[in-house]
Amino acid sequence: MAHAKTSYVCLPCRAAYKQPYDPEGRDGQRICPRCARPLIHVGSAFAAPRRRDTAAWRTLSVLLHAGIRFHKSCCGGPGYRPRTLAEVRERMTYARRSGEPLATALVRHEVP
């Protein structure tokens, strides 16, 4: 039986790679073939933006640094994720004003 593949990302290179997932972590940390830096495991429901789309990669960087990943749930995809910097700024402002954790505010579908 073939192993399921999941996505790994290198933010400095703006590159995404599909590789077999190892739940036990036996093969260690994945390394980017371009720059030799560690790859970030983003999940199997991830769709990478185009390499030259700098705004989308900045948005992705904010999400990943906040601890948000793109794992599938039993009922579908990963849920809502902001796609533009304006959506990220709006949710960051809401988190700052309301005291809600940033990771929770970033995955809100609508900001009150």
DSSP string, the chain: -PPPEEEEEETTTTEEEEEE--TT-TT---B-TTT-PBPEEEETT--PPPTT-HHHHHHHHHHHHTT-----BTTBS------SHHHHHHHHHHHHHH---HHHHHT-SS--
Q: For residue 10, is pLDDT > 50?
A: yes
In a domain, 55, yes or no: yes
In a domain, 111, yes or no: no
Averaged pLDDT score across all residues of the chain: 88
Give me the domain span that covers residue 92. Answer: 5-106
- Portion of the chain with pLDDT greater than 70, in percent: 88
* Higher pLDDT pick, 77 / 106: 106
* Higher pLDDT pick, 68 / 112: 68
In a domain, 82, yes or no: yes
Predicted pLDDT of residue 95: 95
- Per residue in 54-63, pLDDT (tens digit) is 999 999 999 9
Q: How many domains does the chain have?
A: 1
d(CA 60, CA 16): 12
In a domain, 22, yes or no: yes
Contact 44, 5 (CB under 8 A): yes
In a domain, 112, yes or no: no
In a domain, 61, yes or no: yes
Please state the pTM of the whole predicted model. 0.84
In a domain, 98, yes or no: yes
d(CA 63, CA 57): 10
In a domain, 31, yes or no: yes
- Per-residue pLDDT, averaged over 10-36, amounts to 86
* Residue in the block written with tokens 């640094």: 65
* Higher pLDDT pick, 21 / 98: 98
Predicted pLDDT of residue 1: 46
Characterize the bridge pairing of strands 5-10 and 15-20: antiparallel
